[in-house]
Amino acid sequence: MHLPQIASPLLIAGGIVLAAGGMISLNDEVTPLHHSRNAFAIQGSAYGKLLARLSETTIDRIWHLGVEQVVPDHLTGFHHDKEESSPEESGTRETAPPSKASLEKPRTPLQQGKRWFQDRVIALHHRTNPNGLNERHLATVYRDIEEMLLRSFKLDPTHYGAYDSYHLFLTTHDFGGNPTANAQAVKVAQHAMAAAYQETEDPEPWLTAVAAGMNLYLMEAAPYMKKGETIPLKVVKEYREKIGFCLAKFDEIQQKAETNGNWARLSTERQMEISERSLFSKRTFKQFDAMIARATPSSAPADSKGAVVKRETSEEKP
């Protein structure tokens, strides 16, 4: 056999061997060729943060259509009541009937045109099968939703919606709630806080860190609360310090953003969303002081002989 005839097969075989060796090296944690699994460095970038926000609508639509089996509110413009969307005991599920707002007759031509488009959307996504999804189908939907939540969280770990939605999914009994899912929830919260600690210009990630810290505290305190025992004071003080630090950084960076004009560049809706979340976080944080005060024994003053002196209140004064 002539050399030109065997040269091409040898080169092809050599290329395949080199490609296989490269793939093995990418999956080997010891070699420096270990792949970071962050294609095009999209995770954590500005584009990743944008995609994380855009994915919320997709996840919401799949959740409603796949799990609750109703047309999403943001598609119809109507809100479904919880009673209307609950599954029947027989294992079947009817599509949730329209709300009272959807039954009102439109009065103006503009309202009639809007109703026409809403009816078309409802007809497009309306479930015609009277039987609900079986357990295997629901398990597939849950898995797809979890993959999308994880992907969204990886794109932007500091986004409140991406983090809190994934944490809720992991810790809800119907979808997670097992030791493996709870361990994953702890890792996710720790990663969210670590990512927020690197933020120096945007105040919003620090509120995500506050939520992650609060979730970590609740998960650590859950065993004591379940047994009816008192939460150790050391645990309360530890998370009070962590969450207090995050709130202080939020106020500091928000003040800087107001000074340099970055805060004014945000939309009014987003400013209101951040402010409401900040107010809720600060009100929740105040409970730590109350818990520490209840757990710390109050010391009463003593006289020169060492006897405890009763404090005189304003009501006891003549």
Does residue 230 register a pLDDT over 50?
Answer: yes
Q: Tell me if 208 sits within 8 A of 162, measured CB to CB.
A: no
Give the per-residue pLDDT at 259.
92
Instruction: Give the percent of the chain with pLDDT over 70.
Output: 68
Task: Label residue 210 by pLDDT band (50, 70, 90).
Answer: very high
Are 221 and 231 in contact by the 8 Å Cβ rule? The answer is yes
Q: Are 152 and 55 in contact (CB under 8 A)?
A: yes
Residue 215: its pLDDT value, please? 94
At 304 the pLDDT is 46
Domain range annotation of the chain: 38-87+116-156, 186-295
pLDDT tens, residue by residue, 152-175: 899 999 998 889 888 988 888 666
- Local confidence band at 134 (pLDDT 50, 70, 90 cut-offs): confident
Residue 204's closest CA among 137, 254, 141? 254
Report the half-sphere exposure of 256 (CA within 13 A, side-chain side).
11
